[in-house]
Structure 1
Amino acid sequence: MGEIVFLDVVQRKKSENLQTLWDAYVEARARCEKSLSMEDGMAAGRAWAAWLDAFRAVYP
């Protein structure tokens, strides 16, 4: 029973991390769309890559 609770906590933390990374991506993308800056576009791409790496680690 204790293992199930532990796994639930671990999964929740992974989901929270994914949500944090997704929110960072959405914010970076909005900044890019507003400014049309190459630097902001690259930042949005890096944010997307960070989210994708974390997503693939959680859901292989």
Structure 2
Amino acid sequence: MATALGLRTDPDARVLDRHRNPIPRLYACGNDADSVMASEYPGAGCQVGAGLIFGYLAARHAAR
């Protein structure tokens, strides 16, 4: 049994606290972040694309 629900993030992949405020310098992507497919897991590799995109977005945001 597994879950596809991870840490809540914003569009820059920053992890949000319980009040939906970004936690400074904390990012999540891939299986650590809340899935872009909600609680569904359609099959092996489905998080790869989201992990790559949100990893890129997190790196861009962190570099600013």
TM-score (normalizing by structure 1): 0.41
Structure with the largest fraction of strand: 2
**Greater CA radius of gyration, 1 or 2?**
1
TM-score of the two chains, using structure 2 as the length reference:
0.39
